[in-house]
Amino acid sequence: MQRTFAIIKPDAVKNGVAGQILARIEGAGFRVVGMRMIHMSKAEAEGFYHVHKARPFFGGLTDFMSSGPCVVLCLEAADAIKKWRDLMGATDPAKAEPGTMRKDFGASIDNNATHGSDAPETAAFELGYFFRGMEL
């Protein structure tokens, strides 16, 4: 079993599809180990996305992630990191496969509905950023 970190991003919460996304997560066989609704500050979003600090989209990305509430999740499954990345689809919803979260619920590369860790090291950092060990 492996754990990964997921976010139902502010656009999805605002659009009222957080429940549908969660149902698909559970339907795909993930165990929801941790879940919380939060509203990130700009500084918290900047800390979370620090690897993208030098990228031109960093300002817009962190404005968006701090624009409203989101749902942070710890998900568990066999090969959870890849399994959740596959279910999310490509970063740009226009390039995502039908049936994926980003195709079905994302509007653009900036408003793409979900986040998922891309490697074990990032999953460890991201889970630790939002959850205390005792919560999981």
Of 97 and 135, which CB lies nearer to ligand GDP in the complex structure? 97
Of 9 and 24, which CB lies nearer to ligand GDP in the complex structure? 9
Q: Under rule CB under 6 A, which residues in 26-55 are in contact with ligand GDP?
A: none
Which position among 5, 115, 126, 130 is part of the footprint of ligand GDP (CB under 6 A)?
115
CB of 23 to ligand GDP, least distance (A): 21
Report if residue 107 touches ligand GDP, rule: CB under 6 A: no
Using alpha carbons, list the distances in angstroms from residue 125 to 5, 16, 38, 74: 9, 28, 18, 12
At CA 97, angle to CA 33 and CA 99, rounded to 5? 55
Report if residue 57 touches ligand GDP, rule: CB under 6 A: yes
In 10 A of CB 44, how many CB atoms?
A: 16
CB of 68 to ligand GDP, least distance (A): 15
Task: Quote the DSSP letter at residue 54.
Answer: T
User: Catalytic: 39?
Assistant: no
87 with 114: CB under 8 angstroms? no
Q: What region does 6 belong to: left with phi over 0, alpha with psi -120 to 50, or beta?
A: beta
Binding site for ligand GDP (CB under 6 A): 57, 61, 91, 109-110, 112, 115, 118
**Catalytic residues, which ones?**
115
